[in-house]
Amino acid sequence: MLRKNRLFTPGPTPLLPPAQAAMASFSLHHRTADFRTLYMRALADLKQFVGTKNDVLVLASSGTGAMEASVSNLTSPGDKVLVLTAGKFGERWRDLAQAYGCAIELVTVPYGETFRLDEIRKRLTSDVRCVYLQATESSTGARHDVQGIVKLVRANGDNTLLVVDAITGLGTTHFDIDGWGIDLIIGGSQKALMIPPGLAYLAVSERAWQRMESTQSPRYYFDLRKERKAAARGESAFTPATSLIGALSASLDYIRQLGEGDLVTGRGVLIAGAELCAEMTRAAVQALGLKLFSPSCPAAALTAISAPPGIDSGAIVKEFRESFAAVVANGQGEMKGKLFRIAHLGYYDYVDTIGIVAALEHVLAKIGGRPIQYGTGLRAAQEVYACQANRETVPAVV
Ligand SMILES: *Cc1c(COP(=O)(O)O)cnc(C)c1O
Nearest-Å Rg of the Cα atoms of the chain is 21
Helix H or strand E segment including 337: none
Nearest CA to ligand 1 atom 12: 167
- Inform me whether the pLDDT recorded for 390 exceeds 60: no
- Inform me whether the pLDDT recorded for 127 exceeds 60: yes
C-beta of 273 in contact with ligand 1 (< 6 A): no
Rounded distance, CA 390 to CA 351, Å? Answer: 18
Q: How far is the CA of 171 from the centre of ligand 1 (A)?
A: 14
C-beta of 332 in contact with ligand 1 (< 6 A): no
The closest of 6, 398, 16 to 244, measured between CA atoms, is 16
- Inform me whether the pLDDT recorded for 389 exceeds 80: no
Q: Is 218 exposed, middle or buried (0-12, 13-18, 19+ CB in 10 A)?
A: exposed
Give the CATH number of domain 6-12+261-393: 3.90.1150.10
Q: What percent of the chain has pLDDT over 70?
A: 97
C-beta of 64 in contact with ligand 1 (< 6 A): yes
Probe residue for ligand 1, chosen from 136, 167, 341 as the CB with the greatest number of ligand atoms within 8 Å: 167
Q: Kindly report, residue by residue over 38-88, the tens digit of the pLDDT.
A: 999 999 999 999 999 999 999 999 999 999 999 999 999 999 999 999 999
Q: Kindly report, residue by residue over 73-126, the tens digit of the pLDDT.
A: 999 999 999 999 999 999 999 999 999 999 999 999 999 999 999 999 999 999
Q: Kindly report, residue by residue over 132-159, the tens digit of the pLDDT.
A: 999 999 999 999 999 999 999 999 999 9
- The one-letter code for the residue type at 173 is T
Q: How far is the CA of 88 from the centre of ligand 1 (A)?
A: 10
- Inform me whether the pLDDT recorded for 392 exceeds 70: no
C-beta of 63 in contact with ligand 1 (< 6 A): yes
CATH of 17-258, one of 3.20.20.70, 3.40.50.300, 3.40.640.10, 1.10.150.120: 3.40.640.10
* pTM of the entire predicted model: 0.97
Average pLDDT of the residues in 379-383: 98
Nearest CA to ligand 1 atom 4: 63
C-beta of 376 in contact with ligand 1 (< 6 A): no
Q: How far is the CA of 2 from the centre of ligand 1 (A)?
A: 32
List the beta bridge partners of residue 104.
81
Give the nearest ligand 1 atom to 10 CA. Answer: 15
Residue length, the chain?
398
Query: What are the structural domain ranges in the chain?
Result: 6-12+261-393, 17-258
Position 388 scores a pLDDT of 86
C-beta of 11 in contact with ligand 1 (< 6 A): yes
C-beta of 168 in contact with ligand 1 (< 6 A): yes
Position 235 scores a pLDDT of 97
